[in-house]
Amino acid sequence: MWEGVVVAIHLAPAAVAPMVSVEEARAVPGRGLEGDRYFERTGTYSRQRGSGRAITLVEDEAIEALHQEAGIELPPGGTRRNVVTRGVPLNHLVDRDFRIGDVLLHGTRLCEPCGHLERLTQKGVRRALVHRGGLRADILTEGIIRVGDSVREP
């Protein structure tokens, strides 16, 4: 059994807008995180339907490895993922339910890095984050997600 923690939360109001660090965000089923580009349907991939667009997560350990292994330093919001975790095996949460604080989520698929991310950051990010670019998830219950919340199995 594992238990991790939320170390950062980031939202962007529009597709290529910079990510803004916040202490908390309201999670809404079927919409996403209030104030984020995908909640407002102004994200780069908002026109593509399907699950896993409500919230994205990335491991703080992956961001550290990006720097150590590839020499690429990104701030936590630089990954364009909403929630940065520590101590959470995100790849193992595909097709599984988990909680952030009191909010129930369902991991849908890995959030592999794309060319869009690399264009917004720097060359090499895409290759360096393959299979550790994070997790896409659906929000199952409404609530507030806060920095410092535990991340755990239900």
Read off the pLDDT band of 41 (50, 70, 90). Answer: low
Q: Residue 138: its pLDDT value, please?
A: 96
Domains of the chain plus CATH, in order, are 3-152 (2.40.33.20)
**Distances 58 to 64, 76, 77, 128 between C-alpha atoms, Å:** 11, 9, 10, 14
Q: Is 116 left (phi over 0), alpha (psi -120 to 50) or beta?
A: alpha
Q: Residue 63: its pLDDT value, please?
A: 83
Whether residue 114 contacts residue 126, with contact meaning beta carbons closer than 8 Å, is answered with: yes
Name the pairing type of β-strands 103-110 and 97-100.
Answer: antiparallel
Higher pLDDT pick, 19 / 92: 92
